[in-house]
Amino acid sequence: MNRLLSRKFFWTSCACLVAFFFAAFFGCRRSEPVANAEGEKLEILVAVDPIAYMVERVGGDLVSVVALTPQGRDPESYAPTPGDLKRVVASRGFLRVGLPIEQRFEKNIKSIAPDARTYDLCKNLTLLADPHHCEDPDAEAHDDHDDEDSLDAHVWTSPANARVMVANIAEALAELDPDNAETYDANAGAFDAELAALQEEIRARLEPFEGRGFVVFHPAYGYFAREFNLEQRAVEFEGKAPRPRELQKLIEQAKADGVRKLIVQPEFSRSSAQTIADAVGGELVDHSPLQKDYFANMRALTDAIVGSFEDQ
């Protein structure tokens, strides 16, 4: 508990210092919504690259998108530096899903990017409980952000969710830039058709394995598992590597299930997952839900899961 409180105090202190730096450096700015100058791109802020990809697909050449989390870093622990935040001062829209980095940033957004309006991309989604804070990670939680610490924010890992998010993105961009609303709507429609095709492609590949479990280190694929009727089994426990007793239970379960492949994210330590893989004569497969190319990444995840089932 003391460790958790220390971490929260650290990140809160970082956020406050960064906010103070920017308030002092950039001075007072207007807070009312402003219109883009002719030919100027609409500047949008998001947390991670997959969402940046979605916004770029909907906005096209009309938008410029900044992701708060650098590639290869964990959005659950990364704190934006002054250098990162310097890029977001002119942001007009902050499109969020409830990741910890967003929660830390949002407290100070008005002093850093005073012209930014905040939009919730989880609108109209049914959210899952955060597996770090819930004994039943498959339980459905609230579909609002009243208690974000208890919700799973990896919503984009489900193509069905992505389709809803694309509609929310188009709506947000149209509100910020009504002159180009038809363009955003048309781009969103074309994007949605591609996502629908991706859904069917993945469903056809995973249908023979419905009800089966795949093993991951970090539980980032709950929405994917829900959509395609699979079970996500995580090595990580309450945000930490498993203790020896928990690790032994995971090894026994993996042996019983015939698991030969474990999916690990490069943003996290792989030592515990490697211990399980060695114990069952299996291998680790790298996959990150934070890769920018959404279609390539969802196909890579499907390949990894299918490969783990075919080896069982």
Q: How confident is the prediction along the chain (312 residues), in pLDDT tens digits per residue?
A: 444 444 444 444 454 544 444 444 333 333 344 445 567 899 999 999 999 999 999 999 999 999 999 888 888 888 888 877 888 899 999 999 999 999 888 878 888 899 899 999 999 999 999 886 544 445 555 444 445 668 999 999 999 999 999 999 999 999 999 999 999 999 999 999 999 999 999 999 999 999 998 989 889 999 999 999 999 988 886 667 788 888 888 888 888 877 778 899 887 778 888 888 888 888 999 999 999 999 999 999 999 999 888 766
Q: How far apart are CA 57 and CA 132, in angstroms?
A: 32
Same domain as 212, residue 190 = no
Predicted pLDDT at 258: 76
Predicted pLDDT at 142: 46
Closest by Cα among 187, 128, 135 to 161? 128
Residue 285 sits in which domain range? Answer: 208-310
Record the pTM: 0.82
Same domain as 158, residue 62 = yes
3-class state of residue 55 by DSSP: helix
Q: How far apart are CA 216 and CA 287, in angstroms?
A: 9
Q: Which helix (H) or strand (E) holds 43?
A: strand 42-46
Q: Does residue 1 sit within a domain?
A: no
Residue at which a domain ends, from 202, 224, 249: 202
Burial class (CB in 10 A: 0-12, 13-18, 19+), 205: middle
- The Cβ-side half-sphere exposure at 229, using a 13 Å CA radius, reads 9
CATH code of the domain containing 306 = 3.40.50.1980
**Number of independent structural domains in the chain:** 2
